[in-house]
Copies of this chain bind each other. A is one copy, B any other.
């Protein structure tokens, strides 16, 4: 079995997930500053989620790039990941609409933890299915490190939301920054 359709289907689902979030940006009927102000948390939530889904897409791209064949286990692990990612638009809208209420922010952070675990399962399934594929070692190592770090930060963001949602927001930004930093620097920092 080849991987073309797995990629195409995943790209389709990710493209839809990333785009339907914009439907939550409901047009205010007034032009007053009061009306527009309500959009700001929705827009900020959208930016967070856009970066997160974009990061998943880029990593998924890197991970599957070195895979040569696809089996049933990978298909199901991939669908499992897509299921949890598909809930991000809901959590995003819920967080934005409530203007970053603690409970909503904690749910959002919790969902990111689950998505991280689902990605890690896909990673292990792929590596387990292709034990002799040396090209997988680099994305495995790199994505595992950054993934574990992200998981810990999101896990901390859950209780942090009850202290103040702003703490969680800072942690969300931190995760985004981690994925932007070139890998060598991360590796150095890990060694220190």
Contacts and interface: CB of A to CB of B under 8 A. Distances in A.
Interface in A52-96: 54, 57-58, 61-62, 65, 72, 75-76, 79, 82-83, 86-87, 89-90, 93-94
Nearest to A30: B98
A22 B83 CA distance: 10
A48 to B, nearest CB: 12
B20 A17 contact: no
Interface string A129-143: 000000000000000
B7 A12 contact: no
A94 B27 contact: yes
A158 interface: no
A54 B79 contact: yes
B90 A27 contact: yes
A61 B71 CA distance: 11
Q: How large is the interface on A (under 10, 10 to 19, 20 to 34, 35 or more residues)?
A: 35 or more
Interface in A1-56: 1-2, 4-9, 11-20, 22-23, 25, 27-29, 31, 47, 50, 54
A13 to B, nearest CB: 5
27 contacts: A1-B61, A1-B62, A2-B65, A4-B7, A7-B8, A8-B8, A8-B11, A11-B12, A12-B12, A12-B16, A15-B15, A16-B20, A18-B82, A18-B86, A19-B20, A20-B20, A23-B23, A23-B89, A25-B87, A25-B90, A27-B90, A29-B97, A50-B83, A50-B86, A54-B76, A58-B72, A76-B180
A86 B22 contact: yes
A55 to B, nearest CB: 9
